Amino acid sequence: MFSLNNKTALITGGASGIGLAISETFAQAGATIHILELNREAAEVAAGQIRAAGGQAQAYGVDVSVQADVQAVVDQIAATGPIHVLVNNAGIAHIGTAETTTEADLDRIYSVNVKGVYNCLHAVLPYMKASGGGVILNMASIAATLGLSDRFAYSMSKGAVLSMTLSVAKDYLTHNIRCNCISPARVHTPFVDGFLAKNYPDRKDEMFAKLSASQPIGRMGKPAEVASLALYLCTDEAGFITGTDYPIDGGVVRLST
């Protein structure tokens, strides 16, 4: 069960945090991994580690917000064979309300979290259609449906990821392409550690505990837990699932009082 043998998977932002866990998990399940990363060096390290562990992985330095660059990399990968799986995971965060978010902030979040997803969909969908189908998984967030406090631009962008998921799922039903998204609550990744180090250098432990307690289950998620759900959704066992948003949130959406 849950095999990706002989499948090719593109994973954006696949060199850190949740994306890295997905790259490793999918490689262990037999997929050939293509990591599309802004941080090429980290992508080379991740791909090297996967190969050292017996898997197959390639790294590409690409900014998902630049359409021509995404198209060129996708064309290059598609020339080697069918693309079976696309995981749109790359994303960036921002703190601010509608008042404190500047035009530049909004454009930056939009260009990576929204346009970056569109760019990858735009480039990959024609190849999936031509090869008879595929699976797309987008990384949304509980912000998409809850609208997190002081996360105006980020919540906007993840709402767009959710609606792009639904739109693609509908448009490509007859092309045998499934499209779903995952909505994690707080997951312990380098992003969280960086955020605490930058904003609360003297209160890191206290704030880590606070962020952990904001999930009713009492802790943050682990990247590997998100990767396990991602694996399921991208395998044939999930063949009846499309157009769905999966919370993985320690109870936030349903159990918070």
Sole binder of ligand NAD in the list 8, 65, 101, 242 (CB under 6 A)? 65
User: Is residue 25 near ligand NAD by the rule CB under 6 A?
Assistant: no
- How far apart (Å, rounded) are the C-alpha atoms in residues 44 and 60? 8
**By the rule CB under 6 A, 190 interacts with ligand NAD:** yes
Answer yes or no whether residue 28 interacts with ligand NAD by CB under 6 A.
no
Contact call for residue 247 and ligand NAD (CB under 6 A): no
Is position 15 an interface residue for ligand NAD (rule: CB under 6 A)? yes
Residue identified by tokens 């969909």 is 121
Q: Find the shortest distance in angstroms from Cβ 6 to ligand NAD.
A: 26
Pick from 9, 19, 25, 50: which binds ligand NAD (CB under 6 A)?
19
By CB under 6 A, is residue 225 in contact with ligand NAD?
no
Stretch that binds ligand NAD, among 15-23, 47-55, 75-83, 239-247 (CB under 6 A): 15-23
For ligand NAD, the closer CB: 165 or 189: 189
Shortest Cβ 176–ligand NAD spacing (Å): 26
Cβ 21 to ligand NAD, closest distance in Å?
Answer: 8
* 55 counts as binding ligand NAD under rule CB under 6 A: no
Binding flags for ligand NAD, 82-101, as an x/- string (CB under 6 A) = -------xxxx---------
Which is nearer to ligand NAD, 19 or 55 (by Cβ)?
Answer: 19
3-state secondary structure string across the chain? CCCCCCCEEEEECCCCHHHHHHHHHHHHCCCEEEEEECCHHHHHHHHHHHHHCCCEEEEEECCCCCHHHHHHHHHHHHCCCCCCEEEECCCCCCCECCCCCCHHHHHHHHHHHHHHHHHHHHHHHHHHHHHCCEEEEEECCCHHHHCCCCEHHHHHHHHHHHHHHHHHHHHCHHHCEEEEEEEECCECCHHHHHHHHHHCCCCHHHHHHHHHHCCCCCCCECHHHHHHHHHHHHCHHHCCCCCCEEEECCCHHHHCC
Q: How far apart are CA 128 and CA 212, in angstroms?
A: 39
* Contact set for ligand NAD, span 110-139 (CB under 6 A): 112, 116, 139
**Residue whose pair of structure tokens reads 């749109």 in the numeric block:** 88
According to CB under 6 A, which one of 22, 29, 33, 38 is a site residue for ligand NAD? 38
Query: Which of 118, 154, 172, 246 is the catalytic position?
Result: 154
Based on C-alpha coordinates, what's the Rg of the chain? Answer: 18
Instruction: Tell me the number of residues near ligand NAD by CB under 6 A.
Output: 29
- 154 has catalytic annotation: yes
CA dist 146 and 129 (Å) reads 34
Catalytic residues: 154
Q: Which residues bind ligand NAD (CB under 6 A)?
A: 12-13, 15-19, 37-39, 42, 63-65, 89-92, 112, 116, 139, 141, 184, 186-187, 189-192
